Structure 1
Amino acid sequence: MSRNVEADVVVVGAGLSGMIAARALLAAGLTPLVLEADERVGGRILTEEVTAGVPVELGAQWIGDTHQRMFALAEELGVQTYRQYDDGETSYELVGSGVLREGEFHARFASELKELELVLRRLDVLAAEVPVEAPWSAPRAAEWDAVTAGAWYDAQGLSPVARTLLEICTVGILAVPTAEVSFLHLLFTIQTCGVTSELFAESEGGAQTTRFVGGTGEITKRLSALIAAHIVVEAPVQTIEHEVDSVTVYCRGGLVARARRVIVAISPTLAGRILYDPPLSGVRDQLTQRLPNGSAMKAFFVYDEPFWRADGFNGQLISDIGPARMSNDTCIPGDDHGVILMFLEGDEARTAGRLPEPERRAALTAELVRHYGPRAAKPEFYVDGEWSDRQWTRGCYNANHGPHVWTKYGAALSTPVGVIHWASTDTATYWSAYMEGAVDAGERAAREVVESLT
């Protein structure tokens, strides 16, 4: 049975961007209606509890020291934060070195790490030339957008250790191999986040320094409670009819929503699957065809205690053997369990994500045993999650621009099309691809709507 509802603004998607936009619209005196395709809110934020008191983050997990919007949001919502555990040594396993503790690795490969540092500083210098509001207008945009980040890395004459580390760190951010991303997009990503030290580091000043008590899901749960009367779940948007000053949004299941504006707050690739009447420009449609989401999986091992800490490890590993390329100690303060998170991103997520769960778990267990010894073979709990199989997400962490996308199509990414506005972290100009970027994008889209209606 069809249902007809009216609002000032329809928001497509109840992820962080969509809910932030809806709340801002309410504060401006407008009535939003948030339509979420999934049965839950949160989008790319997903917290699950594997056992009492141990929430694990299958989606977004950290904020960084410069993520002021997220710190302010957490304080407003009453969600406490705590620092990511970082005491001890990282374990390395690169280019045939065997498993090495951090001190030994740094001593053995000091010159290679110096090479890497010089390349990171050069990336900072080049990124400073990229305007985040219009990357295509950078003086060397055409040159940088014509090559992949991987090709640029290869041209730097790096040693195998430095090149491998650079690949692992970059894939850990973009969730795709560097051969699939334009060099201009890499520079844009660095510029939106400040400098490479803020983007790549996990210690002070980095992007992964702070977590939320109770899990990141506390943010979306409390935020959605503030606007609960304006959210409809299990309402996949199929068609958006738009006129000069109105929109009609049709959902699967019969719901029809009429409004004066619409904010599409989902990733560009999913936004491209909606039918628009009249059709959007070819440039906008071609853009969404060229912005695939990344491939990411997280796997959690829960032990009776964080035994690796007694051996002087911080729970972080970096490996080119895998199947995980990196890991983190993600123990919960006040709980005795030891929790290690293993990251599978890019090709590793694509490969391991298609394996039967027992086979994938066995391969990851073997990797942990190599780094932390036989106790790693006996977790109490195991849980993993891959994002490309999720119908209403189709990948994580973000959309990535391949060669020629920014310069040929990038101007259409966040530019409103009449009464249609665009949000999601993929459209942010500050910490794009992070929760901070999601808030930035939601606030920007809400401002555009308020200004257009007043």
Structure 2
Amino acid sequence: MIIIIGAGLSGLLTAYRLKQEGIPFKILEARTRVGGRIHTVYGTDNTPLELGATWFGTQHKYLIAVLKELGIDYFEQYMEGTVFFQPFATSPAESIQIPSQPPSYRISGGTSNLINTLYQKLDKDEVLLDQPVKEIKFHENSVQVIAKDVFEGNRVILCIPPKLWAKKILFEPHLPSDLMNIATQTHTWMEDSIKVALTYDQPFWQQENLSGTLFSNTGPINELYDHCNHKRSKYALCGFINASFKNLAYEERRACVVDQIKNVFGEKAGEFVDYEECIWSEEENTFEESNSAPYPHQNNGNPIFNKSFFDDKLLISGSESASEFPGYMDGAVYSANVTAKKIAAAHK
């Protein structure tokens, strides 16, 4: 049996690929939900709000191939109308022309549509939630994984960010020091992000020929985009807050956000139905303190993650370990495909 650590995109897709090959597995997930850093919440009127991974482009061919394979639609990010830019705290937002760029896309029904589709293809007893892994022991012919319960298998796949397994899981025997050094210095994508989303009864910005897009040097919001659903029947704005605002109390941070969007878009922006946010550095199953601040994507795709360890009993998968598009959903898909192929070949 293969034991997969983590029920994010990489873990679930690896499991689905193994299931297609008839190879038994168990996924152990620390959270009480699947998806990892893909986290869609649904507003009062069921508007999908992305508090985690959201956008992708035509270059992300592995992700697009999986969406097509599973029959999941995707749609272009709405960017029509005026874009605002706030250069300084002392000056109002100004309308700007942004140079023509390749479109980005979102998954119809929310990014969690991909997660839920994969999850539904697995049996419920194959994915165990609320099982944070504390220890992994490698024996001559088996692997023992100690979480809330104890599991035995012949291989284990780490499908969580390298910094997490390096700092939270005890390995016996120890992992090689060069692998541990790289892992502890690997940036976890999303770990510093704060996402914010607001739902509305009407898309007031579209009615005023505004794109809903804001770029700001001042914050709290650095970037904001139209976040209506693919049918444009549910209305929202979604974006990123400057990470330093995590130090404010929730009410204070929310008030700053509302003040900013009212200043930029007018009073109607304050008439929202839902306000949702996610501070990823407060998610213990995503964030782990670094010894020194890593730069974005530091060590993502490092070749050491392609190796297997302990006579092929340990494999590393996941977004950060991918050798193509590491740190993105596309990397998670690429990694899952490669890892599942390796295991299928070994089983044959």
Q: TM-score, normalised by structure 1?
A: 0.69
1:427 aligns with 2:321: yes
Q: Does the 8 Å contact 2:40/2:49 carry over to 1?
A: yes
Aligned length: 337
Q: Does the 8 Å contact 2:185/2:299 carry over to 1?
A: no
Q: How far is 1:335 from its partner?
A: 5.1
Q: Pick from 256, 269, 292: which aligns with 1:376?
A: 269
For residues 289-325 of structure 1, the C-alpha deviation after alignment (integer angstroms, 9 at most, x for no partner) is: 2124330111112222111223322111111111111
* Structure 1 Cα separation of the partners of residues 177 and 299 of structure 2: 15
Q: Equivalent residue for 2:309?
A: 417
Q: Pick from 217, 238, 243: which aligns with 1:320?
A: 217
Q: How far is 1:92 from its partner?
A: 0.9
Q: Equivalent residue for 1:246?
A: 142
* Structure 2 Cα separation of the partners of residues 54 and 210 of structure 1: 17
Q: Secondary structure at the match of 1:72?
A: helix
Q: Equivalent residue for 1:385?
A: 278
* Structure 2 Cα separation of the partners of residues 411 and 215 of structure 1: 32
Gaps of 5+ in 2: none
> Which aligned pairs between 1:228-239 and structure 2 lie closer than 5 A?
228=123, 229-239=125-135
* Structure 2 Cα separation of the partners of residues 402 and 317 of structure 1: 25
Gaps of 5+ in 1: 1-6, 107-112, 114-200
Q: Does the 8 Å contact 2:132/2:147 carry over to 1?
A: yes
Q: Does the 8 Å contact 1:316/1:328 carry over to 2?
A: yes
Distance change >3 Å, CA 76–CA 29, structure 1 → 2: same
Percent identical among aligned pairs is 27
Q: Pick from 296, 299, 302: which aligns with 2:193?
A: 296
> Which aligned pairs between 1:194-233 and structure 2 lie closer than 5 A?
203-205=101-103, 209-228=104-123, 229-233=125-129
Q: Pick from 25, 42, 50: which aligns with 1:57?
A: 50
Q: Equivalent residue for 1:166?
A: none
* Structure 1 Cα separation of the partners of residues 233 and 117 of structure 2: 27
Q: Does the 8 Å contact 2:18/2:24 carry over to 1?
A: yes
* Structure 2 Cα separation of the partners of residues 358 and 401 of structure 1: 30
Q: Secondary structure at the match of 1:29?
A: coil
Q: Equivalent residue for 1:35?
A: 28
For residues 56-96 of structure 1, the C-alpha deviation after alignment (integer angstroms, 9 at most, x for no partner) is: 11111222122233223223333222221111121011156
* Structure 2 Cα separation of the partners of residues 213 and 303 of structure 1: 19
Letter aligned with residue 44 of structure 2: T
Q: Equivalent residue for 1:178?
A: none
Q: Which has the larger radius of gyration?
A: 1
* Structure 1 Cα separation of the partners of residues 26 and 93 of structure 2: 53
Q: How far is 1:47 from its partner?
A: 1.1
Q: Secondary structure at the match of 1:317?
A: strand
* Structure 2 Cα separation of the partners of residues 361 and 295 of structure 1: 18
Q: Equivalent residue for 1:150?
A: none
Q: Equivalent residue for 1:148?
A: none
Q: Equivalent residue for 1:160?
A: none
Q: Equivalent residue for 1:24?
A: 17
1:342 aligns with 2:239: yes
Letter aligned with residue 412 of structure 1: I
Letter aligned with residue 390 of structure 1: E
* Structure 1 Cα separation of the partners of residues 347 and 235 of structure 2: 52
> Which aligned pairs between 1:46-445 and structure 2 lie closer than 5 A?
46-95=39-88, 98-103=92-97, 203-205=101-103, 209-228=104-123, 229-252=125-148, 255-272=149-166, 273-293=168-188, 294-334=191-231, 336-344=233-241, 348-349=242-243, 351-394=244-287, 402=295, 406=299, 410-418=302-310, 419-445=313-339
For residues 381-403 of structure 1, the C-alpha deviation after alignment (integer angstroms, 9 at most, x for no partner) is: 211111121222227xxxx9559
Q: TM-score, normalised by structure 2?
A: 0.89
Q: Secondary structure at the match of 1:295?
A: coil
Greater share of helix: 1
For residues 72-123 of structure 1, the C-alpha deviation after alignment (integer angstroms, 9 at most, x for no partner) is: 32233332222211111210111566421114xx7xxxxxx9xxxxxxxxxx
